[in-house]
Chain A
Amino acid sequence: MSLTWLSRIFFACLAIFLTLPIAVIGGVAFNEKKTLSFPPQGFSLDWYWQVFADEGWRSALFHSVAVALIAASISVAIALPLAWFLWRRVAPWARIVEVLGFAPFILPPVITALGALSFWATTGYYGQPWTVVISHGIFFVSLPLVTITLGFATVDHEIIEAGMTMGADDRTLARTIIFPMIRPYVISGFAFAFVLSLNEYIVAYMTVGFTLETIPIKIFNALRYGYTPTMAAVSLFFVLVAVCVFGSVARFGDLPKLLGAWSEGDKT
Chain B
Amino acid sequence: MRRSAPQKLTDYLPITFPTLMLGVFFVIPFGLMVMVSFFKRVQGGFYEPSFTLANYARFLSPFFGEMLVFSLGLAALVSIFCLCLGVPFTYRLTRLSRRAQVIWLIGLLGVLSLSEVIIGFAWSTLLSRTAGLSNLFVWLGLMDKPVAWTPSFAAVLTGLVYQAFPYTVLVLYPAFSRLDPSLMEAARTLGASPVRGFLNVVLPAMRKTLLATFIIVFIFALGAYLLPQILGRPQHWTLSVLVTDQAIYQSNMPFAAAMAVFLVVASLVLVAISGQINRRGGGS
Interface string of B255-276 (1 = CB under 8 A from A): 0110010011001100100000
In the complex, chain B residues 66-125 whose Cβ is within 8 Å of any chain A Cβ:
85, 88-89, 92, 94, 98, 101-102, 105-111, 113-125
A242 near B32: Cβ-Cβ < 8 Å: no
Whether A36 contacts B130 by the Cβ 8 Å rule is: yes
B5 within 8 A of A: yes
Residue B170 lies at the interface, judged by CB distance under 8 Å to chain A: yes
Task: Take A14-B89, A242-B114 as given contacts and tell me if A110 and B29 are in contact as well, using a CB distance cutoff of 8 Å.
Answer: no
Please give, as numbers and ranges, the residues of chain A lying within 8 Å of B125 by CB-CB distance.
Answer: 21, 24-25, 28, 36, 38, 232
Query: Which of A20, A37, A232, A242 gathers most chain B CB within 10 Å?
Result: A242
Chain B residues closer than 8 Å to A124, beta-carbon distance: none
By the criterion CB–CB under 8 Å, are A111 and B263 in contact? yes
Q: Which of A44-52, A53-61, A255-263 contacts B (4 or more CB under 8 A)?
A: A255-263
Q: Tell yes or no: A182 within 8 A of B by CB.
A: no
**B85: nearest chain-A partner, CB-CB:** A14
A66 lies within 8 A of chain B by Cβ: no
A220 contacts B by Cβ under 8 Å: yes
Chain B interfacial residues counted at CB < 8 A: 89
Q: How far is the CA of A200 from the CA of B116 in the complex (A)?
A: 8
Tell whether, in the assembled complex, residue B240 and residue A255 are in contact, meaning their CB atoms are under 8 Å apart: no
A110 surroundings in chain B (CB, below 8 A):
223, 225, 239-240, 243-244, 260, 263
User: When A and B form their complex, what is the total count of cross-chain residue pairs whose Cβ atoms lie within 8 Å?
Assistant: 271
Which residues of chain B are within 8 angstroms of A109 by Cβ–Cβ distance?
Answer: 223, 225, 240
CB of A81 within 8 A of CB of B15, answer yes
Contact A238 B122 (CB under 8 A): no
Which chain B residue has the least Cβ–Cβ distance from A219?
B117
Flag A90-106 by CB within 8 Å of B: 1 or 0 each: 11001001001101101
Q: Which residues of A contact B36 (CB under 8 A)?
A: 118
A119 B15 Cβ-Cβ under 8 A? no
Task: Say whether B114 contacts A239, CB under 8 Å.
Answer: yes
Q: How far is the CA of A162 from the CA of B220 in the complex (A)?
A: 44
A232 to B118, CA, bound (A): 9
Asked if B177 contacts A242 (CB within 8 A), the reply is no
Given contacts A18-B111, A85-B15, A219-B118, contact A78 B21 (CB under 8 A): yes
In the assembled complex, the Cα of A110 lies from the Cα of B220 at a distance in Å of: 11
When C-beta atoms are compared, the residue in chain B nearest to A31 turns out to be B131
Chain A: minimal CB distance from B171 (Å): 9
Contact, CB under 8 Å: B18 / A97: yes
Residue in A27, A89, A114 whose beta carbon sits within 8 Å of that of B11 in the complex: A89
Residues B174 and A118 in contact, CB atoms below 8 Å apart: no
Least CB distance, A4 to chain B, in whole angstroms: 9
Chain B residues whose C-beta falls within 8 Å of the C-beta of A19 in the assembled complex: 107
Q: Is B3 an interface residue (CB 8 A)?
A: yes
Which residues of chain B have C-beta atoms less than 8 A from A242's C-beta? 109-110, 113-114
| Given A118-B32, A138-B21, A89 and B4 contact (CB-CB distance below 8 Å) | yes
Query: Is the C-beta of B19 less than 8 angstroms from some C-beta in chain A?
Result: yes
Give every chain A residue within 8 A of B64 (Cβ-Cβ). none
Listed by A's residue number, 12 A-B pairs whose Cβ atoms lie within 8 Å are: A25-B125, A74-B21, A77-B17, A89-B5, A97-B18, A108-B240, A110-B243, A118-B253, A201-B117, A220-B226, A231-B121, A246-B113
Residues of chain A at the chain B interface (Cβ within 8 Å): 3, 7, 10-11, 14-15, 17-22, 24-25, 27-28, 35-39, 74, 77-79, 81-82, 84-85, 87-91, 94, 97, 100-101, 103-104, 106-119, 122, 134-135, 137-138, 141, 160, 164, 170, 173, 192, 195-196, 198-202, 205-206, 209, 215-216, 219-220, 223, 231-232, 235, 238-239, 242-243, 246-247, 250, 255-256, 259-263
Known contacts A111-B30, A118-B257, A242-B110; 5 further A-B pairs (Cβ under 8 A): A78-B18, A82-B14, A138-B22, A141-B22, A242-B114
